[in-house]
């Protein structure tokens, strides 16, 4: 038999916490809630959500108090204020809610970049083995405003080199690219950089070495823990090397961003 004490709220007051009404603002009205006779304060989610979220259910990081509402320091002060007036606290914790499409969700970006091999894949209910064979181990995103071919021909899908990697931009959405596939872009850039820098140039050799490392990554479909760890480690090493190379040789990032983006996306 479970003998744990059960707390039953007698009077509850709900606070909608967001960037316009922070945890600091919530702390300032605790004494007022106490005078009302409230013994339980129920708040909306205040974990890091999509930028300027007014509801908090589009969570991007369940492990962090949203800096937009004051972060950890404001949270500690809020909890202390409640405790000083003997008011219990209930927070709407929403593990089945997740914000995607803003580029700020590390788990979702991990899935977009690495598919089934992404450590973050376990947090999402994704059918990696659907009926259509061509969709095996792929993620289908319903984000285009028109047929794919038309969107492509209008140039609405753009490649960009940022943060040591290649991303696909579709208006305000930014989607990371599988590092193994991004190696194709870097290889094409290397061909053009050969003309600009000359063969055996240190920057060119470094880029070609990075291309080789990305081409030899374990496949994104792997579910073997050791291969997943290797893939994650090596892609991050390659990302760091690319960032360093782009900083030392600006022509590298310029060509990576400009090289055959249309053909790469078409392929």
53: left (phi over 0), alpha (psi -120 to 50) or beta: beta
Q: Which two tokens stand for residue 141?
A: 């995103």
Residue 79 has pLDDT above 90, yes or no: yes
User: How high is the pLDDT of residue 254?
Assistant: 63
User: How high is the pLDDT of residue 266?
Assistant: 42
User: How high is the pLDDT of residue 258?
Assistant: 60
User: How high is the pLDDT of residue 108?
Assistant: 93
Least confident of 99-103, 168-172, 263-267: 263-267
Question: Cα separations (Å) of 244 from 70, 82, 127, 238, 248?
Answer: 34, 48, 37, 10, 6
Q: Which domains does the chain have, with CATH numbers?
A: 12-91 (3.30.750.90), 143-266 (no CATH)
- In which band, very low, low, confident or very high, does the pLDDT at 263 lie, cut at 50, 70 and 90? very low
The C-alpha atoms of residue 256 and residue 169 are separated, in whole angstroms, by 15
User: How high is the pLDDT of residue 252?
Assistant: 65
Question: How does the average pLDDT of the chain come out, rounded?
Answer: 89
* Number of Cβ within a 10 Å radius of residue 248: 11
Which string of DSSP letters, residue by residue, matches the chain? ---------SSEEEE--BTTB-HHHHHHTHHHHHHHT--EEEE---EEESTT-SS--SEEEEEEE-GGGTHHHHHHHHHHHHHHTT-EEEE---TT----SSS--HHHHHHHHHGGG-GGGGGS---SS-SSGGGTT-------SS-HHHHHHTT-EEEEEETTEEEEEETTEEEE--HHHHHHHHHHHHHHHHHHH-TT-HHHHHHHHHHHHHHTSPPTT---HHHHHHHHHHHHHHHHHHHHHHHH-HHHHHHHHHSSHHHHHH-
Q: Which of 219, 218, 156, 164 is nearest to 186 (CA)?
A: 164
Percent of the chain with pLDDT over 70: 93
Percent of the chain with pLDDT over 90: 66
What is the mean predicted confidence (pLDDT) over 12-41? Answer: 97
Spatial contact of 18 and 69, defined as CB atoms under 8 Å apart = yes
- In which band, very low, low, confident or very high, does the pLDDT at 257 lie, cut at 50, 70 and 90? low
Q: Which of 171, 195, 166, 198 is nearest to 182 (CA)?
A: 166
Looking at per-residue confidence, does 249 or 229 come out higher?
229
- In which band, very low, low, confident or very high, does the pLDDT at 265 lie, cut at 50, 70 and 90? very low
Spatial contact of 120 and 176, defined as CB atoms under 8 Å apart = no
Spatial contact of 221 and 115, defined as CB atoms under 8 Å apart = yes
Least confident of 1-10, 61-70, 177-186: 1-10
pTM of the model: 0.82
Looking at per-residue confidence, does 1 or 104 come out higher?
104
User: How high is the pLDDT of residue 232?
Assistant: 95
* Residues 82-109 pLDDT 10s: 999 999 999 998 888 888 888 889 999 9
The C-alpha atoms of residue 212 and residue 83 are separated, in whole angstroms, by 58
Spatial contact of 166 and 159, defined as CB atoms under 8 Å apart = yes
What is the mean predicted confidence (pLDDT) over 152-166? Answer: 89
Spatial contact of 168 and 143, defined as CB atoms under 8 Å apart = no
């Amino acid at each position: 038999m479970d003998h744990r004490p059960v707390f039953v709220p007698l009077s509850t007051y709900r606070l909608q916490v967001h960037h316009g009404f922070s945890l600091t603002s919530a702390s300032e009205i605790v004494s007022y809630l106490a005078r009302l006779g409230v013994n339980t304060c129920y708040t909306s989610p205040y974990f890091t959500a999509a930028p300027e979220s007014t509801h908090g259910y589009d969570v991007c990081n369940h492990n962090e108090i949203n800096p937009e509402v004051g972060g950890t320091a404001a949270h500690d002060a809020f909890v202390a204020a409640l405790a000083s007036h003997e008011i219990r606290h209930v927070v709407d914790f929403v593990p089945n809610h997740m914000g995607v499409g803003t580029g700020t969700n590390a788990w979702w970006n991990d899935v977009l970049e690495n598919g089934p091999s992404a450590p973050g894949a376990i947090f999402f209910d994704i059918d990696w083995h659907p009926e259509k064979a061509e969709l095996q181990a792929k993620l289908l995103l319903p984000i285009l405003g028109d047929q794919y071919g038309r969107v492509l021909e209008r140039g609405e899908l753009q490649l960009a080199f940022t943060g040591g990697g290649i991303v696909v931009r579709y208006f305000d959405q930014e989607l990371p690219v599988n590092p193994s596939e991004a190696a194709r872009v870097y290889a094409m850039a290397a061909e053009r950089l050969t003309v600009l820098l000359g063969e055996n140039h240190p920057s060119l050799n470094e880029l070609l070495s990075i291309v080789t490392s990305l081409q030899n990554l374990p496949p994104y479909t792997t579910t073997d823990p050791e291969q997943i760890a290797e893939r994650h480690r090596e892609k991050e090493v390659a990302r760091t090397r690319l960032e360093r190379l782009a900083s030392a040789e600006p022509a590298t990032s310029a060509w990576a961003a400009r090289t055959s983006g249309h053909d790469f996306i078409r392929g």
